[in-house]
Amino acid sequence: MNTVKANIKNPKVWVLVIGVTVAVGMVAAAETRRRKAKFKEDFGAFVQRFQILPFPQPPPPAAKQTLAGLTFAINDIFELEDYVTGFGNPDWARTHEAAEKTAVTVTALLKNGAVCVGKTVMGELGFGVSGENIHYGTPINPEMPAHVPGGSSSGSAVAVAAGLVDFALGTDTIGCIRIPAAFCGLLSYRPSHGAVSTIGILPNSQSLDTVGWLARDPSILLRVGHTLLKLNTVEPRRARRLIFADDLFQLSKVPKQKAEVVINKAIENLSGYQPQQHINFGQHISLNVPSLKGFLDQSTNMQNGISNLKALSSAMVSLQRHEFKTNHEDWVKSVEPKLALDVSDNLLTAINTTHENIKALYDIRKELRACMQILLKDDGILVIPTVADPPSKLNSKKRDTVESHNRALILSSIASMSGCCQVTIPLGKNDGCPISVSFITFHGGDKFLLDTVLDMYSSLKEQINFLSNPAPLKDANENFDASELLKEKGNAAYKGKQWNKAVNYYSEAIKLNGKNATYYSNRAAAYLQLGCFQKAEEDCNMAISLDKKVN
């Protein structure tokens, strides 16, 4: 591999050492073949594939079905008549009968013309934010194959990101839709709590559970929202205030400056947007959510905004565990299901914990919703990073994943505990990893928020593309030399062991000049580091075909 690194710019030398490199990677290659055989063409997103056709289009004068022609998938937490709901765990499926009715949300989508094509993999019993599942396999993140897809709605996110469906449903309790959306570079929507029916959905924690959905296209996100939320199509246009939570961006590796630039540039030519505002959100809730006091770490300064944010996430987890115990304690004790270690730890903690002050948990929900109303009124949108960290690698060290998990929960707790609606918006990539921000608005402001995304999205995409692909530079002969510049950036990323970033730079160089063998051989080297052996082989073959002198 050191030989490959030393000769990354020379396709001829690369071809000579490729046999050695592949020999070194035989074990990893065997694992790749196993995963390919198992996941085939669906990225491991599904536990069941089928097709449920939509209801017939009603005759005129009925309006045309708004979702006609679209396909969707559902997490294995939604009930379908005559299908067993698996809840992400074989022991649950084994001990339960087929559903007698179909979930209200699924029926609504079928009535509006969409086709359901299968059930997707999910985190066991709705726990976990990584998206890994030891029983059904972890769905492959199309954006970063060597990294987790995020959960618990992992299969739904992967199915959308891979283009297997137009949109997908999942549930969001403590970030289960928002986190996989961020990791897979998707739009997602968590509605106001109680705004979408949860009848026919297995409960994890009713005070936090919502139905959520993911899409690649904002118009589809809005169309699904109109169907499930039963929104009025006409609503007076309101002004919009964007409020950046500066302290939450400090928690995150999402570059705040880039987010601000993209959003500000996107709205500067749009009407009805006021100049951006800034807030320390932790301090705001410390003043307006007095019941958090009982969840503060007494070893820290009680005026510290971060300690209040940690207290909020702690209260959210306590509420989830309390309600999960109420819902499923009898089943857990009687069946003793086989679970992944992290899920088992969560579940046993939930079952064995006795919460003395349950009332305080519900008081926090009430106070936080009022606190958000004070801040947002009827025109405000809070801007926060969706997740704090990029997706971790598969089978990462527990300490790293626990710390990342805890930071993710701080960001997820705002909408989960307040019941406010939240939309996740991808902002391209940073260092090769998908990044996103989230917009949160007041409880009941769902149409306002969905309309905002549709209003801004094309401008956002333009700004993202501009920052990601700046105007190419000219050389002394006035010829565009952007591809060489991108190659050099890729080489620098490679030397810095930023493999995904290197792949992205080489790919952009290939788009500009697809006849350069060096670009392909360099990208192959980066793919090898990521364990993407088939893609590395394809690039090697392309490099050989382009350079006829190589044998």
High-pLDDT (> 70) share of the chain, %: 87
- Sheet containing strand 71-75, edge to edge, reads 46-52, 115-120, 71-75, 167-172, 210-215, 187-190, 421-430, 433-441, 380-385, 241-245, 277-279
DSSP assignment letter at 7: T
Q: Are 233 and 226 in contact (CB under 8 A)?
A: yes
At residue 442, does pLDDT exceed 80? Answer: yes
Q: Which of 220, 170, 214 is nearest to 70 (CA)?
A: 220
Give the domain 476-547 fold: 1.25.40
Q: Answer whether residue 7 shows pLDDT above 70.
A: no
Q: Distance between CA atoms of 124 and 291, rounded to whole angstroms?
A: 31
Which pLDDT score is estimated for 548? 58
Q: Which of 210-219, 257-266, 279-288 has the lowest mean pLDDT?
A: 257-266
Angle at 168 between CA 217 and CA 376, to 5 degrees: 65
Question: Are the CB atoms for 353 and 321 separated by under 8 Å?
Answer: yes
Q: Pick the residue with more confidence: 200 or 35?
A: 200
Report the pLDDT value the prediction gives residue 50, as an integer from 0 to 100.
97
CA distance 225 to 332: 35
Contact 296, 280 (CB under 8 A): no
Better pLDDT: 294 or 497: 294
Write the pLDDT tens digit of every residue in 75-98.
999 999 999 999 999 999 999 999
Structure tokens at 83: 């299908």
How confident is the model at residue 298, as a pLDDT?
62
214 band by pLDDT with thresholds 50, 70 and 90: very high
Cross-strand bridge partners of residue 282: none
**Hey, what CATH topology would domain 46-393+402-468 get?**
Amidase signature (AS) enzymes (3.90.1300)
AA identity, residue 404: S
* pLDDT over 60 at 478, yes or no: no
* Between 161 and 22, residue with greater pLDDT: 161
Whole-angstrom distance, CA of residue 346 vs CA of residue 335: 17
Can you give the pLDDT at residue 492? 80
Closest of 285, 279, 361 to residue 326, by C-alpha: 361
Please state, as a whole number, how many other Cβ atoms lie within 10 Å of the Cβ of residue 61.
5
What is residue 430's predicted lDDT score, i.e. its pLDDT? 87
Give bridge partners of residue 119 from the DSSP assignment. Answer: 48, 74
Q: Which of 182, 238, 166 is nearest to 455 (CA)?
A: 238
pLDDT at 146 over 90: yes
Amino acid at 193: H
| pLDDT for res 400 | 60
Q: Which segment, 34-48, 200-214, 457-471, is predicted with the most confidence on average?
A: 200-214
Do the domains at 46-393+402-468 and 476-547 have one common CATH topology? no
Provide the pLDDT confidence category of residue 6 given band limits of 50, 70 and 90: very low
pLDDT tens, residue by residue, 485-520: 788 888 887 887 777 788 888 888 898 888 899 999
Rounded Cα–Cα distance for residues 45 and 48 (Å):
9
At residue 451, the 3 state secondary structure works out as: helix
- Rounded to 5 degrees, what are φ and ψ at 102? -95, 140
Count of Cβ atoms closer than 10 Å to residue 520 Cβ = 26
Backbone angles phi, psi at 287, to 5 degrees: -85, -20
pLDDT above 90 coverage of the chain, percent: 65
Q: What is the pLDDT of residue 304?
A: 60
What is the per-residue pLDDT for 19?
38
Backbone angles phi, psi at 504, to 5 degrees: -65, -40
Please, what is the average pLDDT of the chain?
87
Question: pLDDT tens-digit profile of 321-351?
Answer: 999 999 999 999 999 999 998 899 989 999 9
Q: Is the dihedral of CA 513, 518, 521, 522 positive or negative?
A: negative
Tell me how crowded residue 548 is: count the other CB atoms within 10 A of its CB.
8
| In contact, 202 and 178? CB cutoff 8 Å | no
- Size (the chain), residues: 551
* 104-135 confidence digits (pLDDT tens): 999 999 999 999 999 999 999 999 899 999 99
Q: CA-to-CA distance for 150 and 45, rounded, in angstroms?
A: 12
Indicate the SS3 state at residue 31: helix
Q: Which of 95-99, 226-230, 379-383, 534-538 has the lowest mean pLDDT?
A: 534-538
Residue 361 backbone phi and psi in degrees, to 5: -65, -45
For the chain, what is the largest distance between any 2 Cα atoms, rounded to a whole number of angstroms? 77
516 or 210, which is more confident: 210
Domain locations in the chain?
A: 46-393+402-468, 476-547
Please give the DSSP secondary-structure letter assigned to residue 85. -
Residue 272: pLDDT band (50, 70, 90) is very high
Q: Rounded to an integer, what distance in angstroms lies between the CA atom of residue 4 and that of residue 303?
A: 54
